[in-house]
Structure 1
Amino acid sequence: MSDRDTLEDRLSAAAERYEKLARRLAEPEVLSDMALLRDVAREHSALEPLARAAERHFKLLDDLRQAREVAAESGGELAELAELAAAEVAELEAERGAAREELRHLLVPKDPLDDRPAVVEIRAGTGGDEAALFAADLYRMYARFAAESGWDVELVSTSEGVLGGLKEIVFVVRGSDAYGRLRYESGVHRVQRVPETESQGRVHTSAATVAVLPEAEEVDIRIDPADLKIDVFRSSGPGGQSVNTTDSAVRITHGPTGLVVSCQDEKSQHKNKARALKVLRSRLLDRMVAEQEAERARERRTQVGTGDRSMKIRTYNFPQNRVTDHRIHLTSHRLEAILAGDLHEIVEALRLAGTEERMAAEGG
């Protein structure tokens, strides 16, 4: 089968699937089942860009066929028409080349986890109080990026440091393609700047670790209650009158893996337990995905993999007003704007690199 046949067949199949899903969305059995409706709507929405691109592609092929026929059949008194048709053929050929490249990217199978909410965990690393301040900067950066993207942010737990810093914060980002766009933020983020507490004006290097996990659903990960050790304790920090007066905070330890999740931001012990279980499921799902990615990484050299939390992925250099992503060698001198939430350039560059990686893995 030729490359053209493969492309045309896959586009036709995608367009047919899109139309079939559109019909299914109106079926009574789908409308009466919320879980099924959500899954069908999610797949239909994911296929829409490809279906629209396929429609443009087939129209382009039809226009090209007609232009070639005119160019071939015109002659004599119609020489001028033939010349115009030949010029149109050249333009359409160039347009088709660009369109085919776009289609190759769209045809790369989308990770089904990309549409999930993203559970983001930020922890201060080396650097003491300065690292905690940087962790707070990163949280504000992602919160503002989420707001610009039309997403919602739900706090799960926080552990505050001094001077407004954060030792740790866990939050969930909900919105279209949240995990798909944030997944490559996982890793060690390094900052180089003069700390507020530095009297000599020396530049210090500090770090914070970011982990982005796909929010797990109960059907993804089933947890045996017998594997859990659940402790309750009194909250410490913001929380109103219930702080230090009721045992509302919850700590869950998963025996088989040793994973520990704590949640204390809600006044209700029940709500804290539910949130902690959500984070635990997401960590277990992330561990499973990381193992799969590690297996694939043994077969090929990865470029922007999300499994290695210890990898230094990005440096924020204040003296040079520079942000550098070390995986894709992208450098921007817009540090202030990026920390204010303008992450679009970096996020899209990382997504493109991830798509190219998957294309290479599939021999595309």
Structure 2
Amino acid sequence: MLRSKLPFLRSLFHRENYLLIHKYYSQKVLNISDPAVQTYLKHLMIEYDTLHIKARRTVEENKRLHEIKPIVSVLEQRIALFDSIESLKELTKKDQKDEEIKQMIKEEAKIYLGRLKEVDTDLQSILLEPYLSNGGVILEVTAGAGGQEAMLFARELFELYEAYAQYKEWEVDIASVEKSDIGGYRKASMLIKGIGAPELMKMEAGVHRVQRIPATERSGRIHTSTVSVAVLPQATEVEMEVLDRDLTIETKRASGAGGQHVNTTDSAVRITHIPTGTIVECQQGRSQIKNREIAMEKLRALLLQKQIDEQSSKINSERKTQIGSSNRNEKIRTYNYPQDRVTEHREGGINIPSLKVFMQGGEHLEELQESLLRQHRYEVLMAEVNDFINKNKIPNV
């Protein structure tokens, strides 16, 4: 089967054919006519055929086969279209005096080229479609530069993510909240679980800058402050078994506001991981069981993050990489209240004209995250292409 496809593969990626169709439609984000991309796509087809004919496949091979099947399916459609175009080109080389036949060839070519445009759009979508897993993350919001104003915005940002999680129908548990004197948040964290939560919420990691006139500012001067967001991965079941060893679990009465019940019940939970000295607490709910569950999830996330940092051999941990030093010039997004707009500073991001609507945590945030994920997927794909070319030392690419 593979040998029968090779002539069409050469036709599929032939430069003349790309020049033939290039004028009919604008180039998309991914340049499929790039020789390196062409080579990589041919490699995917050969890889698919090799895996497909294997009598026995490993779990990883089955997973890989499932991943590349949609891509190969679209590429096979392109092969058939290019084959039809080649047939029409052969007809045009013959001495055709029949004007009716000439017109039919012209119309058919137009149909094939139009269909080719649609197939290429499908190919772009499949190649750049982000993978969304069913999992969870620990999201932490920390007030940065700007004093009380930063703490107030930290609370608004935290509530934005709560609302967004409800919009996405994700499961949310508040892990911890440290309030300021005037109702802001010095630091707060939540557990978020659901389809797409790990990938979408990862896009929120970094420094968020807010520009607005504080209610207490008499001069009407615009104040700039920052809030840092860190997103930590939750451990898998296998990782949990390792991370849950050597723990000390203590219960105590919850402190702070919350009514008589909170203050007279040993509902607060404190867990210490003895080997690393990592300590987490949870006293948000009235149920000791629920607080323990949340504390364990947070501890696992923190320990898993430590493992990731050690394995990556980076000077700074992932959290520090995400949130920087909370300086005003280290930002991923700006919330400008006087101009009522949200400006995304990362490549692939989109700007939102209505800040008030954005802060409600609905489709605008979803659209922004998906745009950033597509850009991330593009960068990952191009890295795969370049790695393949370099690893195999393919010349003239």
Q: Specify whether residues 152 and 223 from structure 1 end up closer, same or farther in structure 2 by C-alpha distance, changes over 3 A only.
A: closer
The match for 1:282 is 301
- Between the aligned partners of 1:69 and 1:306, the Cα distance in structure 2 is 59
- Between the aligned partners of 2:77 and 2:382, the Cα distance in structure 1 is 28
The match for 1:5 is 42
Residue 164 (structure 2) pairs with residue 145 (structure 1): yes
The match for 1:349 is 371
CA contact (8 A) 1:184 1:306 kept: no
CA contact (8 A) 1:68 1:89 kept: no
Residue 155 (structure 2) pairs with residue 136 (structure 1): yes
How far 1:275 moved relative to its partner? 1.6
Residue 379 (structure 2) pairs with residue 337 (structure 1): no
The match for 1:36 is none
Within 5 A, what are the aligned runs for 1:215-230? 215-221=234-240, 222-223=242-243, 225-226=245-246, 228-230=247-249
For residues 103-149 of structure 1, the C-alpha deviation after alignment (integer angstroms, 9 at most, x for no partner) is 4435x9x59xx532122111223333322211111122112222232
Moved over 6 A (4+): 13-17
Percent identical residues: 33
Task: Give the AA of the match of 2:365.
Answer: L
Within 5 A, what are the aligned runs for 1:227-266? 228-237=247-256, 239-266=258-285
Residue of structure 2 aligned with 1:101, choices 99, 111, 124: 124
CA contact (8 A) 1:68 1:85 kept: no
CA contact (8 A) 1:179 1:214 kept: yes
Where 2:280 maps in the other structure, the secondary structure is strand
Within 5 A, what are the aligned runs for 1:47-86? 51-52=69-70, 54-70=72-88, 72-73=90-91, 75-77=96-98, 78-86=101-109
How far 1:321 moved relative to its partner? 2.2
- Between the aligned partners of 2:344 and 2:53, the Cα distance in structure 1 is 40
For residues 290-329 of structure 1, the C-alpha deviation after alignment (integer angstroms, 9 at most, x for no partner) is 45566599xxxxxx99943225322212122232233337
- Between the aligned partners of 2:87 and 2:215, the Cα distance in structure 1 is 72
Mark the runs of 5 or more structure 2 residues left unpaired by the alignment.
Answer: 1-5, 7-38, 325-329, 387-397
Mark the runs of 5 or more structure 1 residues left unpaired by the alignment.
Answer: 25-38, 298-303
What TM-score comes out, normalization by structure 2 length? 0.70
RMSD (Å) for aligned C-alpha atoms: 3.8
- Between the aligned partners of 1:213 and 1:224, the Cα distance in structure 2 is 17
CA contact (8 A) 1:213 1:283 kept: yes
User: Rg bigger for which structure?
Assistant: 2
The match for 2:206 is 187
Where 1:175 maps in the other structure, the secondary structure is strand
How far 1:97 moved relative to its partner? 4.1
The match for 2:389 is none
For residues 141-189 of structure 1, the C-alpha deviation after alignment (integer angstroms, 9 at most, x for no partner) is 1122222323232222223334442232221222211111110211221
Q: Specify whether residues 296 and 93 from structure 1 end up closer, same or farther in structure 2 by C-alpha distance, changes over 3 A only.
A: farther
CA contact (8 A) 2:341 2:354 kept: yes
Task: Give the AA of the match of 1:83.
Answer: K
Residue of structure 1 aligned with 2:380, choices 326, 333, 358: 358
- Between the aligned partners of 1:269 and 1:336, the Cα distance in structure 2 is 37
Task: Give the AA of the match of 2:354.
Answer: R
For residues 26-77 of structure 1, the C-alpha deviation after alignment (integer angstroms, 9 at most, x for no partner) is xxxxxxxxxxxxx9xxx79x958x6455434423432442354355347444
Residue 217 (structure 2) pairs with residue 212 (structure 1): no
CA contact (8 A) 1:239 1:265 kept: no
Q: Specify whether residues 322 and 291 from structure 1 end up closer, same or farther in structure 2 by C-alpha distance, changes over 3 A only.
A: farther
Aligned length: 330
